[in-house]
Amino acid sequence: MKDQNTQDLSWDEFDELRDPRPETCDFDHVVDRALSRRGFLGGVLAFGSGAAAMGAGLMGSTSARAMGPGGRFGFNPIPIATDATIHVPEGYEWEVLVRWGDPLFSDAGAFDPATGGTAASQERAFGENTDGMEMFVVGNRQVIAVNNEYANLKINLPNNDGGMPASAEDVLKIQNTQGVSIMEVTETGAGWQVVVDSPLNRRITHNTPMRLSGPAAGHDLLKTAADATGTQVLGTLNNCGAGKTPWGTYLTCEENFNGYFGSTDAAQELPEAFKRYGIGHEGRYAYEQHDPRFDLSQNVNEPNRHGYIVEIDPADPESTPVKRTALGRFKHENAACVLASEGQVVVYMGDDERGEFLYKFVSTAPYAEGGDTSALLDEGQLYVARFSDDQTGEWMALTPEATGMTEAEIAILTRQAASALGATTMDRPEWVAVNPVAPEAYCALTNNKNRGIKPNAGGDDTSVNGPNPREANKYGQIVRWRPEGGDHAARGFDWDLYVMAGNPTVHGDAYGGSANVTPGNMFNSPDGMMFDQKGLLWIQTDGNDSNEGDFAGQGNNQMLVGDPVTGEIARFLTGPNGSEVTGITWSADRRTLFVGIQHPGGTFPDGAGLPRSCIVAVKRKDDAVIG
């Protein structure tokens, strides 16, 4: 496991390799599966006016009007790309805002591509693997809070054999490349820049002190030798997508936290509950060899203190981030916040693993502007989604009565609680986005090669089902739901598939995609998603960019824009080879769109030296508002 080849794996592949799932194939379900596919294809056209408009004829007639610089989309869609740079539509331009290793504080010094910097410099510089981000306006300053999800060891430790950390200094450096970067940005005559040494700049790493709050805080499973109270923790791990509360705080989401832990005692018997979360004897970055906190033989409870959503106040660099355990513990993708009809805070959240679930939290108290928000994300009800094949669904409350677990146990072992209720296994829920102009929310289900092939890590059946209708799903889909009565706090909802990605040039069946997928706009593996203020859905991809076989004609990862009403989808941006396009936010005047480019290949963006994850600023040449 600890050879350098594992560094080339995605997190999912890493987990699968370390914790292989039992192979099962339930042939009794073959007929059901075929029926489900037919049911889906009929169903997608039966749901609401938006879905009905997905027919190819209507789309063809509206395309010319919607696109182009003056249309609803505001651009002419671009073709795929397979090269080493970024492309945007005619009339738009892009520039790099910040790259891994660029200083946020002048004492970090200039980035050194020969070494990738030091532990000390990385703690004062922009982190690696940019991901979810949000813009905040603090006084007259614009501040971006952005996640630095994980490390690319061969790039971050270019002098080490295979990039593997060989010392405590190496591990600390890698820990300091990850977490969250908070930085003031400004637009000058020379373009967008980070305000180096701004009093609001901050790095949050794997060692930043944080507080645990909510039902799990103080539970025995959260206590360690260093923290007998179970309420104080160091660091936030594998920060993937993000969210923004109505009161102006940043939510960072801990996704593949399991991979950082290992045991220096190969014979150690690990707790049974670790299996569901993929916590095993060998960590991905050798932390356990050099930092005892990550060595399970010394700190078996440390992993229970990670896998949460963390609230950070970007306006106060001295504030202590808070892990909000009421929002559950799983591989958190993002946190999409919206207010319910009565003012309660609703947070939609996906658990990104094959066959895991979709959740929402509803606060007990309503949000009031200027009111006390300190407990809003501590007191409330966590729900998990059950989708029925008749295109209705229900949010099932994860209560002690329903699950047989205490509130603290539900908060710590959320996956087990959701399984107990028979939640619907999903095709890797990535970002959720809430439409600001219609009472509906969308979740990207990125792909799931195990759909219909293997159960999830809890043994739950993963036969094809309504919102996950294709076996061994390579392409992914976007499910959307409309809450009963238009109230995001409601228990019931109706759902349909906004799009089923696919390749219509290769497949003539459901793998060819839904009617709004064409040879001109096709893509695979939707992941990041955000609505703009007009109600257009920006979709980012993290998929197979080989441009071969089942993916021929789909090119590099990309960003597209979808119209929820007509179903139209148009390609806006293509990323450089090897990269994932992830993370999106706007400047305060919405004339600039910031987009994250994660793990580019080659030498992007500098054309020499190491490839560096970066945020780019996209503008219209006429300086008009985007979205």
The answer to the question of residue 333 lying near ligand FEO (CB under 6 A) is: yes
Q: Does 496 contact Ca ion by CB under 5 A?
A: no
Q: Which residues does residue 185 pair with via DSSP β-bridges, in sequence order?
A: 142, 194
Query: In the stretch 117-156, what mask flags binding to ligand FEO with x, by CB under 6 A?
Result: --------------------------------x-------
Catalogue the E-assigned strands of 340-457. Answer: 344-350, 358-366, 380-387, 392-397, 429-434, 441-445
Size of the site for ligand FEO (CB under 6 A): 6
User: Cα–Cα distances in Å, from 100 out to 12, 146, 156, 177?
Assistant: 24, 12, 9, 8
Q: Is 168 helix (H, G, I), strand (E, B) or coil?
A: helix
When the beta carbons of 432 and 570 are compared against ligand FEO, the nearer one is 432
Q: According to the binding rule CB under 6 A, does residue 254 interact with ligand FEO?
A: no
Give 430 or 563: the residue with its C-beta nearer to ligand FEO. Answer: 430
Supply 405's token pair: 């677990």
Q: Are 193 and 186 in contact (CB under 8 A)?
A: yes
Helices (H) and strands (E) in the chain, counts: 12, 28
Cβ atoms 477, 499 nearer than 8 A:
yes
Nearer to Ca ion, 224 or 558 (CB): 558
User: What's the closest the beta carbon of residue 327 comes to ligand FEO, in angstroms?
Assistant: 16
State the residue number with the nearest CB to Ca ion. 542
Binding to ligand FEO (CB under 6 A) within 365-404 occurs at: none
Strand partners, 480: 442, 496
CB of 240 or CB of 500, closer to ligand FEO: 240
Dihedral sign of CA atoms 31, 33, 38, 39 in order: positive
Which residue number, 288 or 356, has a Cβ lying nearer to Ca ion?
Answer: 356
C-alpha to C-alpha distance for 60 and 81, rounded to whole angstroms: 24
According to CB under 6 A, which one of 240, 286, 500, 581 is a site residue for ligand FEO? Answer: 240
255 binds, among ligand FEO, Ca ion, none (CB under 5 to 8 A by kind): ligand FEO
One character per residue 419-438, x = contact with ligand FEO (rule: CB under 6 A):
-----------x--------
Residue 527 within binding range of Ca ion, rule CB under 5 A:
yes
Q: Is 170 in the site for ligand FEO (CB under 6 A)?
A: no
Contact 238, 180 (CB under 8 A): no
Q: How far apart are CA 139 and CA 315, in angstroms?
A: 9
Give the residue among 396, 321, 311, 382 at the shortest CA–CA distance from 346: 382
- Angstrom CA distances, 12 to 8, 20, 259, 448, stand at 11, 11, 10, 10
x-or-dash pattern for ligand FEO, window 495-534, by CB under 6 A? ----------------------------------------
Pattern 419-448, Ca ion, x by CB under 5 A: -----------x------------------
CB of 240 to ligand FEO, least distance (A): 3
The correct pick among 15, 170, 255, 532 for binding ligand FEO (CB under 6 A) is: 255
Each residue 337-366 as x (binds ligand FEO by CB under 6 A) or -, in order, gives ---------------x--------------
How far apart CA 372 and CA 374 sit, in angstroms, is 6
Contact footprint for Ca ion (CB under 5 A): 430, 527, 542, 580
Contact footprint for ligand FEO (CB under 6 A): 149, 240, 255, 333, 352, 430
